Amino acid sequence: MMPSFTIGIEEEYQTVDPVTRDLRSHIATEMLAKGKRRLAERVKAEMHQSVVEVGTTICKTIKEAREDLFDLRRQMIHLAREHNLLLVAGATHPFADWRTQEIYPDDRYKRVVEDLQLVARANLIFGLHVHIGVEDREAAIRLMNSMRYFLPHILALSTNSPFWRGMKTGLKSYRAKVFDKFPRTNIPDSFASYAEYEGFVNLLIKTNCLDNAKKIWWDIRPHPFFNTVEVRACDLPMRAEETLAIAALIQATAAKLYLLHSRNQDYRQYSRALVMENKWRAVRYGLDGKLIDFGKETEVPERELILEYLDFVAEVVDELNSHEEIAYIRKILEMGTGADRQLRKFEETDDLKAVVDYMAEETQAGLFED
């Protein structure tokens, strides 16, 4: 059975005080309660109270996802304003200190903090998760295996966390380095079958490593409760258009790899260790570095690789009706990622509060009529 390739998008936003530009916890909890009344299951809490997560419905196409995501962002921006807050899309806050942030009062998060201690408390980051509908579990494992290669390229496009606790980190995705302190993160190994994957999960449950597969936080995973492949590698981009472009690229990648498999032309798989080399380069340099072309055994500028990547998925874009969204990838190459733009703003102003203001403006870009 061919996958549906439906799309679900989850974004995690910052709630920011418009005066101090720092993260705000207490009022954000009230905002969340009102958000749940208005948006029901499309909005939910995260571990830190200054993080609010939204999720689209299951969308058949990227056009549906556009409408849903834009609506969610607009509603959350209005909701933040009602509580005298700014909604900010960025994968780290430029100067907030995790030590002053409150944990959301929920048994699930209490258990995570009890288990992971300071690692959990320090995890003040904001990500983008994209679900692609793949109903057959064997196909989901095959696609996960093959899609691992592309995760560094996708991460490089999304990079949006160059600052941490008031410091320029020198990395384009510091979020990735904060998160990889968690167990069971980063690029997964490949699995020969869904049964092998299930055996792995069951062993971890049996030996009290975890209570369910949701605590496997890899950059890509077969979702334990939905029939999706979930890509979790990305920073949260500033603009909704960037999120849509990346989601469309992820959907097109899954569709192209499935098509290759149906022709008995599977994409070559590389070891986790090799893919992790490219992930580090994406974390460090974003679009400005070189990634390794493992087939040619040489370094290639990331921007060139992205253009090759767009050519690779081109044959499925018509059927997915995602030309407009995929084309925005070229716009990201032109204007730079969120990390690049944050750094430019800081160079112009030497003021991290000005960077936060810029991020808040970009969060609204394209959502409202001028």
Cβ pair 126, 236 in contact under 8 A:
yes
pLDDT of residue 211: 87
Q: The domain that contains 279 carries what CATH number?
A: 3.30.590.20
The answer to the question of residue 250 being in a domain is yes
Q: What is the DSSP letter of 284?
A: H
Rounded alpha-carbon distances, angstroms, from residue 272 to 140, 186, 199, 205, 311:
18, 9, 19, 23, 25
- Predicted model pTM: 0.94
Q: HSE of 306 in the Cβ direction (CA atoms, 13 Å)?
A: 29
Which residues, in sequence order, are bridge partners of residue 63? none
Q: Is residue 369, in this structure, part of any structural domain at all?
A: no
pLDDT at 27 over 60: no
Q: CA-CA distance, 273 to 189, in Å (whole number)?
A: 9
Range(s) of the domain holding residue 346? 7-364
Assigned domain for 203 exists: yes
What total of structural domains would you count in the chain?
Answer: 1
Q: DSSP code of 51?
A: E
Q: What sign has the CA pseudo-torsion 282, 283, 285, 288?
A: positive
Question: Is 2 a member of any domain?
Answer: no
For residue 98, what pLDDT is reported?
Answer: 66
Highest mean pLDDT among 41-55, 146-160, 178-192, 204-218 belongs to 146-160
**Mean pLDDT calculated for residue range 8-19:** 94
pLDDT digits over 156-198, tens only? 999 999 999 999 999 999 999 999 988 899 999 999 999 999 9
Whether 54 is covered by a domain: the verdict is yes
Contact 364, 358 (CB under 8 A): no
CA dist 141 and 221 (Å) reads: 8
pLDDT at 318 over 90: yes
pLDDT recorded at residue 38: 74
Nearest Cα neighbor of 217 from 202, 228, 233, 240 is 233
212 vs 120, which has greater pLDDT?
A: 212
Mean pLDDT of 195-210: 95
CA distances in angstroms from 101 to 123, 181, 203, 241, listed in the order given:
10, 19, 35, 30
pLDDT for 103: 65
Q: Is pLDDT above 70 for 45?
A: no
Res. 33: pLDDT tops 60: yes
CA distances from residue 181 to 104, 176, 177 in whole angstroms, order as listed: 20, 9, 7
Name residue, tokens 């609010």.
52
- What residue has token string 């009102």? 34
Arithmetic mean of pLDDT, 311-326: 97
Quote the tokens at residue 244: 């849509």
* Structure-derived torsion over alpha carbons of residues 229, 293, 182, 21, reported in degrees to the nearest 10: -90
Pull the structure tokens for residue 187. Answer: 């690029």
Q: Does residue 267 belong to any structural domain of this protein?
A: yes
Asked whether 126 and 13 are in contact (CB, 8 A), the reply is yes
**Alpha-carbon gap, residue 282 to 275, rounded angstroms:** 11
| Better-scored residue on pLDDT, 370 or 347 | 347
What is the average pLDDT across 20-34?
A: 73
Task: Give residue-wise pLDDT tens across range 229-257.
Answer: 999 999 999 999 999 999 999 999 999 99
* Residue owning tokens 């998008």: 9
Cα–Cα dist 147/152, whole Å: 10
Q: CA–CA separation, 247 vs 226, rounded Å?
A: 17
The token duo for 343 is 């750094």
Cβ atoms 136, 21 nearer than 8 A: no
The alpha carbon of 256 is separated from its chain's Cα centroid by a whole number of angstroms, namely 21
Q: Is residue 198 part of a domain?
A: yes
The answer to whether position 285 is within a domain reads: yes
